[in-house]
Amino acid sequence: MKFLLRFLPYRDLWIISNVRWLILARFFANVIFYSTLMVPFQTSRGLNFTEMFSLESIISLFSWAFDIPTGVLADRVGYRSVLTIGYGLNVASLLVFISAHTFWTFALASALFGIGLACISGCESALIYESLPRADTHASLATAAFSLLNAATPAGFLLGLSFGSFLGAYNQLLPFVVSLLPLSIAFLVTFRLRPIAYHSQQEQAQPNLVRLRIMGILRSALRIVSEQPTAVGLSLLQSAGFALIDSIFWYNQPYFTRAGIPVVWFGPITAIAVGLGIAVTLTTPGAKQRLGTSNALALSCLVPAIGYIALSLVHVPILTALFVALVAAGPAWRQPIIIDELNLRIKDGPRATTLSVLSSLGTLVGIALNPLIGGAGDLGLNTTGLCLGGGLVVLGLMIKILL
């Protein structure tokens, strides 16, 4: 880590208080020890697969419904306050989840988690962007900041993935209980953030005026979105890409099984793939500078597309593991670059609300794609790989046209 901080722009970022604390919050929030034990735990509490996937829909629905309201609230009361609420809801969600024995109790936990995601969505990147120094190096620092923030997610996930199975072997409930500790730390870390809120130019000139009304904030955000069709397109492509690529964490086990890989290796192979994703994410600033935005984004779609298509054709164990890692790590440049591009296009205005509007539009694409992705799986693994890979090829070409 010290090596990276010395030779990459991350050293300059780490001394910025808000950036440092946000990255730590993101890291601890993703240290979940139960990721490989979710299905057996919910099965033991009486849920079937239909109900499990219904809970995922509830998360998406509540996240979408509260995305814009929480963005408006963040621009009114400050990004830190809404982030604290979001991480607090995540802790409450896990507490309810642990105690749940019926579908509707699990649904309550999912609703709380979805609202928490809505609180965090937009606020993190808005707070980071507003915390960076306004200088000539701001653009490169922003790319590096979002790269570091996105690297914190798989880093936390990797830590939880490495030890969760051992905890679960001792007691099925233990990984869920232990996960409360890092999630609580993430909640407490948000209190160290420096408050920043959006103020209109009129408010800045005359601070004693009544603050901008909520509808004024929303109208301002909608105006920015309407003036930035490229930002809308990037948000839609980001959501579509996430839905297509994230599905590898559902389909990797059937691919492993078909290739004859023992179950004991499922976790380590996935952990290696996540670790590669961290390394690739940290190269984002250099990739954007050398390849250009459109080329880097296109490659972040085309590389996992190759992995998916190859999975439909190859059944050799070591190659299957390699192609799963290609799908999981290949898109690592996509999210930080798109978040950076979205923030760059919001020159002035309610940043969190604007990002929330864009995020809510993208969420609709994800909701529409998920049933199609599941339908491809029902047609067989060969069809799944070809369909998902083909979809990513289309996204890569659309990015080149868009940018």
Q: Which residue has the higher pLDDT, 238 or 226?
A: 238
287 pLDDT more than 50: yes
Domain co-membership, 237 together with 180: no
Residue % of the chain over a pLDDT of 90: 26
Q: Which residue has the higher pLDDT, 42 or 209?
A: 42
Going by the DSSP 8-state scheme, the letter that residue 101 receives in this structure is: -
Model pTM?
A: 0.69
Domain co-membership, 252 together with 172: no
Number of domains comprising the chain = 2
Domain co-membership, 175 together with 287: no
Structure tokens belonging to residue 135: 């200088």
To the nearest whole number, what is the mean pLDDT of the chain?
A: 81
Phi-psi map region of 76: left, alpha, beta (phi>0 left; psi -120 to 50 alpha)? alpha
253 pLDDT more than 80: no
In a domain, 373, yes or no: yes
Taking the C-alpha atoms of residue 79 and residue 356, their distance in angstroms, rounded to an integer, is: 12
Domain co-membership, 159 together with 232: no
pLDDT (mean) for 227-238: 85
- Contact between 241 and 304 under an 8 Å Cβ cutoff? The reply is no
Give the pLDDT band (50/70/90) at residue 323. very high
Longest dimension (CA), the chain: 69
Query: Reduced to 3 states, what is the DSSP secondary structure of residue 331?
Result: coil
356 pLDDT more than 60: yes
Taking the C-alpha atoms of residue 111 and residue 113, their distance in angstroms, rounded to an integer, is: 5
371 pLDDT more than 90: no
Dump pLDDT digits (tens) for 148-205: 888 888 888 888 877 776 787 778 888 899 999 999 999 999 999 887 755 444 444 4
CB atoms within 10 A of CB 47: 19
In a domain, 101, yes or no: yes
Q: 264 lies in which domain range?
A: 224-403
Domain co-membership, 391 together with 271: yes
